[in-house]
Amino acid sequence: MTEKIEKRHKALREKLVEIAEQRIAADGMEAVKARDLAKTAECALGAIYNVFDDIREIILIVNGRTFQRLGDAVQHDLAGRENTSPTERLITIANAYLDFAVENTNLWRSLFDIPFSSDLNAPQWYWNELDRLFQYIAGPVNECCAQMSDTDRTLMTRALFSSVHGIVSFGIENRTTPVARDELERMIEQIIIGVSGNK
Amino acid sequence: MTEKIEKRHKALREKLVEIAEQRIAADGMEAVKARDLAKTAECALGAIYNVFDDIREIILIVNGRTFQRLGDAVQHDLAGRENTSPTERLITIANAYLDFAVENTNLWRSLFDIPFSSDLNAPQWYWNELDRLFQYIAGPVNECCAQMSDTDRTLMTRALFSSVHGIVSFGIENRTTPVARDELERMIEQIIIGVSGNK
């Protein structure tokens, strides 16, 4: 492949990912359609398959970017709070997660609409982004659960992520019923204070 | 409507719900299609709409039955354990939920694939079945969190349900990766022991 073609392919890849990201943000993962992408990117339908294996690969790349933005949001909210208690830091992370999901609902949903398994054969950078999120949680968990075994702390990190995700998911799916934002925050706080021993 | 027609309608309703339940159990909510239902029930396509508003109504009825079976499963596992500690009862309920989700994955998923909001305009019996599940959790929560306000206990009940659901969901979606069953149980236990104060 000449350098020129490589450059053109790279530009098309970026364009298609941008369009797919807009579609997901507006109408969810289901709205990413090959014909629409080709039309909007002004390329032939077949050109998409020169630069991507399939539509799923494009969605996966958008999801990788979403994970990265989510990680950035958590990092941003933690900045300057390094000296707060582990419980406070866990609550900060969970609220950053809640904010992100509320503000980027369709992009956030798409992260979990693609099955989350090793079957997915996702590239390493994807798992790295996911791992980054877990590392943020693992920090305060290791401090407040110092007496636990390594295995238990790993499971606790995962359990907390799953729990907060469960609360946020139900909260967002239920948002037409009167589940107030402060109630969601209180539920998150109850779980985190409980498991962290309010340390 | 004559009694005879009413009886025939009732029989058709039941038949269609049975078929839809089998389809959901085998292949998920998306597999419930009007043409297939009519063919399998040996009725005209239009006959479905004489007895139901739409396919969504049929799925909702299946979901109501699934909630009832889930409630029965929880009740069954709690039987004889009324005198165990609130923490132990919460763990029993959560494990019953995990078992049910593992054994009835597609039916269980369908409960949450239909948006869970008041928009749904679901019949009262549907909310009653859902409420029954919350009542099982509220019992031990009220005991182990007796010092909390009523509002906090209500939120705690909901937070625990959401947390266990989050752990079970991620566990099931990830089941091709090595997330062992005993690890899921341990994660559930960590959250419940944490928030219940192991009482």
For residues A47 and A68, state if they share a domain: no
First-to-last CA distance in chain B?
58
Q: How many CB atoms lie within 10 A of CB B97?
A: 24
* Structure token pair of residue B160: 């625990």
Q: B186 at the A interface (CB within 8 A)? A: yes
| Chain B nearest C-alpha distance from A75 (Å) | 23
What CATH number did the domain enclosing B183 receive? 1.10.357.10
pLDDT score at B124: 80
Residue predicted with more confidence, A123 or B92: B92
Using the structure block, give the residue that is written with the tokens 């239902």.
Answer: B37
pLDDT score at A176: 45
pLDDT score at B127: 79
For residues B45 and B64, state if they share a domain: no
For residues B80 and B29, state if they share a domain: no
Residues of chain A contacting residue B173, judged by C-beta atoms under 8 Å apart? 112, 115-117
Domain count, chain A: 2
Last residue of a domain, one of A13, A36, A52: A52
pLDDT score at A88: 96
For residues B91 and B19, state if they share a domain: no
Q: A76 at the B interface (CB within 8 A)? A: no
- Round to whole Å and give the CA distance between A72 and A50: 32
- Round to whole Å and give the CA distance between B112 and A103: 22
pLDDT score at B176: 45
Give percent of chain B above pLDDT 70. Answer: 92
| Chain B nearest C-alpha distance from A94 (Å) | 13
Residues of chain A contacting residue B165, judged by C-beta atoms under 8 Å apart? 166, 170
Task: Provide mean pLDDT across the span B168-186.
Answer: 77
Q: B183 at the A interface (CB within 8 A)? A: yes
For residues B1 and B85, state if they share a domain: no
Which tens digit of pLDDT belongs to each residue from B10-24?
Answer: 999 999 999 999 999
For residues A113 and A172, state if they share a domain: yes
pLDDT score at B121: 66
Residue B70 has pLDDT above 90, yes or no: yes
Tell me the DSSP string of A32-95.
--HHHHHHHHTS-HHHHHHH-S-HHHHHHHHHHHHHHHHHHHHHHHHTT-TTS-HHHHHHHHHH
Long-range (24+ apart) CB contacts under 8 A made by B138-143 are: B139/B86, B139/B89, B140/B86, B140/B87, B140/B89, B140/B90, B140/B93, B140/B196, B141/B86, B141/B90, B141/B196, B143/B86, B143/B199
Q: A181 at the B interface (CB within 8 A)? A: no
For residues A67 and A43, state if they share a domain: no
For residues B25 and B9, state if they share a domain: yes
Q: How many CB atoms lie within 10 A of CB B118?
A: 12
pLDDT score at B175: 46
For residues B157 and B178, state if they share a domain: yes
- Residue-range definition of the domain harbouring residue A182: 60-196
Q: How many CB atoms lie within 10 A of CB B164?
A: 28
Q: B30 at the A interface (CB within 8 A)? A: no
Q: Give the A:B interface size as CB pairs under 8 Å.
A: 108
Q: Choosing among A98, A112, A162, which should be mutated to test the B contact, i.e. which has the most B CBs within 10 A?
A: A162
Query: Using an 8 Å Cβ cutoff, are B134 and B157 in contact?
Result: yes
pLDDT score at A131: 87
Model ipTM?
Answer: 0.89
pLDDT score at B125: 80
pLDDT score at A91: 96
pLDDT score at A13: 96
Tens of pLDDT along chain A (199 residues) come to: 689 999 999 999 999 999 999 999 999 999 999 999 999 999 999 999 999 999 989 999 999 999 999 999 999 999 999 999 999 999 999 999 999 999 999 999 998 877 655 555 677 887 788 889 999 999 999 999 989 999 999 999 999 999 999 999 888 876 445 568 899 999 999 999 998 887 7
For residues A31 and A108, state if they share a domain: no
For residues B102 and B82, state if they share a domain: yes
> Taken in order A185, B115, B22, B13, is the CA torsion positive or negative?
positive
pLDDT score at B119: 56
* Structure token pair of residue B191: 């959250």
Return the ∠ at Cα A41 (arms to A37 and A46), rounded to 5°: 65
Q: How far is CA A6 from CA A1, A50, A61, B43, in A?
A: 6, 11, 19, 58
For residues B138 and B174, state if they share a domain: yes
Using the structure block, give the residue that is written with the tokens 């998923």.
Answer: B109
Which tens digit of pLDDT belongs to each residue from B107-146?
Answer: 999 988 776 555 556 778 877 888 899 999 999 999 999 8
Banded pLDDT at B85 (limits 50, 70, 90): very high
Residues of chain B contacting residue A162, judged by C-beta atoms under 8 Å apart? 163, 166-167, 169-171, 187
